[in-house]
A and B are shown apart, each in its own frame.
Chain A
């Protein structure tokens, strides 16, 4: 069961464009994580957000946790081909991770 809904499922853009991907749930989370996964590799943690309304920046990536802690967004500014990958939002419960289906991002040169 996918308790985390991610949208869009696929995104294909040109280098230099901006984009936002979304993660939504009907449940309140104590924290939420974003991972990026490249083909043939395991997911790599990008960020953890904990506080409602929290905004975290990682270079050109901006992560926001909704005020009600039920949703999150990831915004990428001036996307580059190296940003290509599967972006996964994840909630953690007692150490187990529950993943959304992910957004497959492709950035063309």
Chain B
């Protein structure tokens, strides 16, 4: 396993266009997370999945954003009608979570990100 993979690494798009990013997590990981990082800031949480279920969405995730993880493996993040303010690095991470006897996370690993530039 080569870790968390994200595709594409870079995307330049015109304002108003739709874009879709893909994340392939570490295969045995059951949780997948999306973060957004703008220049000069630390990453900010957007949403996460446990297996195929989307369990939480941040207020940062406007109606133009949608994320899916249809088979509990890879995930896609789509941004519709992109705006210049959407320009950022979109990071995916995965981890293995065990809930019994108590909540423990293993191997929280980030991908290299997709750099989106909206012009």
Contacts and interface: CB of A to CB of B under 8 A. Distances in A.
Interface string B7-48: 001000000000000000000000101010000111111001
A28 interface: no
A75 interface: no
Interface of B is mostly: strand
Contacts of B112: 40-42
Size category, A interface? 10 to 19
Contacts of A99: 42-44
Interface of B: 4, 9, 31, 33, 35, 40-45, 48, 56, 91, 93, 95, 97, 103, 105, 108-113, 115
B43 A97 contact: yes
Interface of A: 2, 40-45, 88, 90, 92, 94-102
